[in-house]
């Protein structure tokens, strides 16, 4: 078996594509003007920013004036949530509804607000990783300021019933925000048709660079300014525009949302082949609903192994994947997402996420399906937990 390099962690970040990079380069070189300057060099930069804004708007069914560029998905989430909290607190509304398995850009923001007089309801998710819109309906109160529910989960890829949730919020007169960082480019989105009030997206998950994002804010919602200063972003987020990054986001989102259905038709069978292949191993389970999930996502728990060891051994075989442990934070706590769908700690620890895209080949898939069982067998053969399991002993 010849070693390959397979990047299967597109949910963590993506490579800047050639087309994106090419579209950005002129704004580093000859078109370096400040978008606020009135001479041609500045006006050209301004034009480029507005063209990118139109592209972002078109990609999600918004009006360009509803798009604000930010520095990342996390910033968009923070602005939407804290901004709405500010806006609504004045009207005596200090209750927020979210879910237990949001990205930390949302959860840590709502936790911050809890320390500042807000009450937050965390909606549970089913063992399939799905939110029941009825739970949202039941949680809405007179003083609910905002419902914020992610469009697609970053770890297990499950796609939430956003239309139903948005309809409930609309009916109850509550603002609805969605973190769509993982969904954009993989799911067809039309914010106006779907009744979404605010939506966060990020460039580096769709082949633009790291450090650029956008927030869609429906016309009529007057979020407080995020950064005070100059008149950029209609005065709401001051600071000289990052023109190359904005242009790159425009190119990236245009490409990412162009042929979503065709792309998904290519990825889904390959993803399913991977799922079926890995699930042939004993004591494995697929995390998250099989059908209501992002086409490129698979998340599988493999009992008797440690996720980190698995990742290191996959890396030695040229495969970049991710696990269910929050090793990034330096803690060994298993992922809050995997716990939220009812996994035991030790099972959550042995989890692996692959996030693939349409550039993956059938040969790549075969390679992964050769490597993973070998690595798992090796790790299990060294694992005291596995040994106990095989002897039928209980392990904790």
Q: Smaller CB distance to ligand PLP: residue 105 or 199?
A: 105
| Residue count, binding to ligand PLP (CB under 6 A) | 14
> Is position 213 an interface residue for ligand PLP (rule: CB under 6 A)?
yes
* Whole-number Å distance between alpha carbons of 141 and 77: 22
Sole window of 34-42, 70-78, 302-310, 326-334 interacting with ligand PLP (rule: CB under 6 A): 70-78
Nearest Cα to Cα of residue 178 among 125, 217, 126, 221: 217
Q: Which stretch binds ligand PLP (CB under 6 A): 66-74, 132-140, 249-257, 298-306?
A: 66-74
* Distance (Å, whole) CA 56 – CA 247: 10
Residue nearest to ligand PLP according to CB distances in the complex: 73
Least Å distance, CB 396 to ligand PLP, is 31
User: Pick from 31, 44, 66, 179: which binds ligand PLP (CB under 6 A)?
Assistant: 179
Instruction: Check binding of 74 to ligand PLP (CB under 6 A).
Output: yes
Quick note: the x/- pattern for ligand PLP over 132-171, rule CB under 6 A, is ------------------x---x-----------------
Q: Which residue's entry shows tokens 């990742």?
A: 311
From the list 79-87, 179-187, 360-368, 384-392, the region that binds ligand PLP by CB under 6 A is 179-187
Q: Is 9 helix (H, G, I), strand (E, B) or coil?
A: strand
Beta-bridge partners for 184: 187
324 near ligand PLP (CB under 6 A): no
- Residue 394 Cβ vs ligand PLP, minimum distance, rounded to whole Å: 36
CA-CA distance, 356 to 297, in Å (whole number)?
A: 7
CB 284 within 8 A of CB 271: no
Alpha carbons 142 and 126: distance in angstroms, whole number: 26
The encoded tokens of residue 149 equal: 């529910």
Give pairs for 267-272: CB < 8 Å, separation 24+. Answer: 267/295, 267/296, 267/356, 267/357, 267/358, 267/360, 268/295, 270/356, 270/360, 270/362, 270/365, 271/295, 271/296, 271/297, 271/298, 271/356
- Nearest distance from C-beta of residue 144 to ligand PLP, angstroms: 22
In the list 6, 7, 73, 274, the residue contacting ligand PLP (rule: CB under 6 A) is 73
Closest listed residue to residue 110, CA positions, set 69, 140, 77, 65? 77
Q: How far is the CB of 43 from ligand PLP (least distance, A)?
A: 29
Interface pick for ligand PLP out of 177, 205, 293, 380 (rule CB under 6 A)? 205
Residue 357 makes contact with ligand PLP by CB under 6 A: no
Give least dist CB 67 to ligand PLP, A.
Answer: 16
Structure tokens belonging to residue 209: 């660079």
Please pick, among 72, 169, 320, 327, the residue that the annotation labels catalytic.
Answer: 327
- From candidates 35, 59, 62, 72, binder to ligand PLP by CB under 6 A: 72
Beta-carbon contacts of 95 under 8 Å, excluding residues fewer than 6 positions away, are 118, 119, 120, 121, 141, 143, 144, 145
d(CA 67, CA 215): 6
Active site residue 327: yes
Provide the pairing of β-strand 144-148 with 95-99.
parallel
181 touching ligand PLP, by CB under 6 A: yes
Binding string, 182-201, against ligand PLP, x = CB under 6 A?
A: x-------------------
Task: Give the nearest distance from C-beta 392 to ligand PLP in angstroms.
Answer: 40
Nearest approach, Cβ of residue 158 and ligand PLP (Å): 12
CA dihedral 353, 359, 362, 367 (to 10 degrees): -50
Determine if 131 is a binding residue for ligand PLP (CB under 6 A): no
* Side-by-side strand order, sheet with 284-286: 284-286, 297-302, 351-355, 322-323
> Looking only at residues 75 through 104 of this chain, which bind ligand PLP when binding is defined by CB under 6 A?
103
Give whichever of 149 and 243 is closer to ligand PLP, judged by the CB atom: 149
What are the helix (H) ranges across 69-190? 73-89, 104-114, 133-139, 162-172
Q: Interaction with ligand PLP in 240-299: which residues (CB under 6 A)?
A: none
Is 202 one of the binding residues for ligand PLP (CB under 6 A)? yes
Interface residues with ligand PLP (CB under 6 A) are 72-74, 103, 105, 150, 154, 179, 181-182, 202, 204-205, 213
> Could you list the active site residues?
327
């Amino acid at each position: 078996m010849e070693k390959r390099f397979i990047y299967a962690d597109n949910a963590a970040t993506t490579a800047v594509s050639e087309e994106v990079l090419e579209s950005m380069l002129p704004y580093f070189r000859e078109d370096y003007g400040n978008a606020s300057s009135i001479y041609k060099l500045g006006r050209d930069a301004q034009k480029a920013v507005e063209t990118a804004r139109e592209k972002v708007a078109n990609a999600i069914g918004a009006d360009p004036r509803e798009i604000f560029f930010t520095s990342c998905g996390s910033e968009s989430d923070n602005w939407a949530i804290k901004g709405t909290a500010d806006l609504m607190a004045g009207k005596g509304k200090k209750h927020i509804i979210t879910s237990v398995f949001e990205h930390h850009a949302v959860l840590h923001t709502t936790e911050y607000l809890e320390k500042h007089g807000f009450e937050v309801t965390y909606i549970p998710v089913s063992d399939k990783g799905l939110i029941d819109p009825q739970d949202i309906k039941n949680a809405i109160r007179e003083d609910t300021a905002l419902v914020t529910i992610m469009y697609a989960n970053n770890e297990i890829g499950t796609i939430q019933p956003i239309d139903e949730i948005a309809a409930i919020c609309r009916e109850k007169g509550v603002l609805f925000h969605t973190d769509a960082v993982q969904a954009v480019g993989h799911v067809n989105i039309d914010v106006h048709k779907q009744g979404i009030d605010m939506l966060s997206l990020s460039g580096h998950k769709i082949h633009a660079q790291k450090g650029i994002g956008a927030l869609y804010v429906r016309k009529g919602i007057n979020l407080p300014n995020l950064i005070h200063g100059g008149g950029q972003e209609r005065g709401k987020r001051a600071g000289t525009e990052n023109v190359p990054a904005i242009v790159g986001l425009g190119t990236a989102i245009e490409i990412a949302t162009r042929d979503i259905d065709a792309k998904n038709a290519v990825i889904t069978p390959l993803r399913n082949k991977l799922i079926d292949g890995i699930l042939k191993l004993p004591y494995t389970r697929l995390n998250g609903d099989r059908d209501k999930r992002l086409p490129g996502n698979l998340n599988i728990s493999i009992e008797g192994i440690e996720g980190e060891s698995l990742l290191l051994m996959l890396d030695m075989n040229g495969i970049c994947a991710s696990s269910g442990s929050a090793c990034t934070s330096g803690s060994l706590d298993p992922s809050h997402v995997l716990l939220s769908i009812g996994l035991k700690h030790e099972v959550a620890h042995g989890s692996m996420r692959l996030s693939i895209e349409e550039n993956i080949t059938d040969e790549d898939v075969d390679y992964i399906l050769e490597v993973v069982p070998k690595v798992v067998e090796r790790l299990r053969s060294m694992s005291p937990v596995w040994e106990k399991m095989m002897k039928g002993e209980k392990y904790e």
